[in-house]
Amino acid sequence: MADIQDVIFLGAGASASEGAPVQKDLFREFFRPGGGYGRRTAGIARLAKFFQDFFGLDVRSDSPGVLFPSFEETLGVLEIAIDRGESFRGYSVASQAPDVQTLKEDLIFLIALVLNRTLMAPKGHHRDLVRRLADEGRLLSTAFISLNYDTLIDNALIGLHPDFDVDYGVEFTNYSRERDWKVPRQNRAVALYKLHGSLNWLYCPTCISLTLTPREHHKVAALIDHPVPCAQCGMPIVPIITPPSYLKGMKNYFLQQIMHRSADVLKSARRIVFCGYSFPAADLLIRYLLKRIELNYDPRPEIVVINSYEGKDGESKRREEKRYRRFFRNKDQVRYLDMSFSDFCNCDVD
């Protein structure tokens, strides 16, 4: 892999520019009347009961005033219960009746269904970005750190094969199969590290292996009705996803590897570009990673923030800029630009 000059963080706003709902709107999108997601599966029925029992929400209501929780806080509550081995009334964590674990998997399949539908025809901003960098001869010296579960940046980079390969920073079971995903060539590899996991990664907790399902969410979405066994051991496999604020999720062997690889590229970066990322206080893992790099390594990189979009009010921009400037030690190296992700995809900053 070439020396990294730029590291581009991709937050929810980057995916939203392509048509994906932001986390706070995921459930509203799924359960909206006429959404076309169907209501017949057992998993969807379980989720409807879960939202009623936990949040007092009737998902069948078409009232615009219904307030859904965010995907992160909903999944986070279940993750903590599983980690602590504690049940809720009517929802067990016991191995003989793993209601909470089943709900967690239902939520992950829900996001796969939503993203598969809303991103069937993306606008192409991620594709424009990687093509611009390739045309400028800068793609191999750029690393991507995605905080999103979707495969927009994955598909954009895969579209440049065979000229470039995608390096996720982990090994997949596909590497050992004929006519399947190949080990990325070091002189052609573009780093893509997905700190919160990805919908196209299927994890086997039995044999501790990871399988890549390139390009599509539909294979993951199909698991809600048709579970797939691990090709190596025959046990069930699940998508690997962790909420941003749930630090325990980083105990996963593969996510730990990705964390270390992310730190490596950040050490050498001359510029870090945040795209569509509001820098929330709850995302402690990202803040910890950035602060370690800032204090332990020289020279300190320039920080560029690109998160404008049509209709964003001035007060939101000012609060966001303050969050970035408050966090980083060298305030004069932070550039908060009134620039959208789609603008950046077509033209670099001055």
Contact between 197 and 151 (Cβ < 8 Å): no
- In CATH terms, 6-20+122-346 corresponds, of 3.40.50.1220, 3.90.1660.10, 3.40.120.10, 1.10.3720.10, to 3.40.50.1220
Q: Which comes out higher in pLDDT, residue 211 or 261? A: 261
Domain ranges of the chain: 6-20+122-346, 23-118
Instruction: Give residue-wise pLDDT tens across range 79-113.
Output: 889 888 999 999 998 887 789 988 988 888 888 88
How far apart are the C-alpha atoms of 233 and 3, rounded to whole Å?
38
Contact between 139 and 127 (Cβ < 8 Å): no
Give me the helix-helix angle, 284-296 and 314-327, nearest 10°.
Answer: 50
**Cα radius of gyration rounded to whole Å, the chain:** 20
Averaged pLDDT, 7-11? 98
Q: What is the pTM of this model?
A: 0.90
How far apart are the C-alpha atoms of 315 and 140, rounded to whole Å?
37
Relative to beta strand 271-275, strand 302-308 is parallel
* Residue 212: its H or E element: strand 209-212
Report DSSP letters for 238-303, one per residue: EEEE--TT-GGGGGSHHHHHHHHHHHHHHHH-SEEEEES----TT-HHHHHHHHHHHHHSSSPPEE
- pLDDT higher than threshold 90 for residue 230: no
Percent of the chain at pLDDT exceeding 70 = 91
Instruction: Give residue-wise pLDDT tens across range 11-23.
Output: 999 999 999 988 7
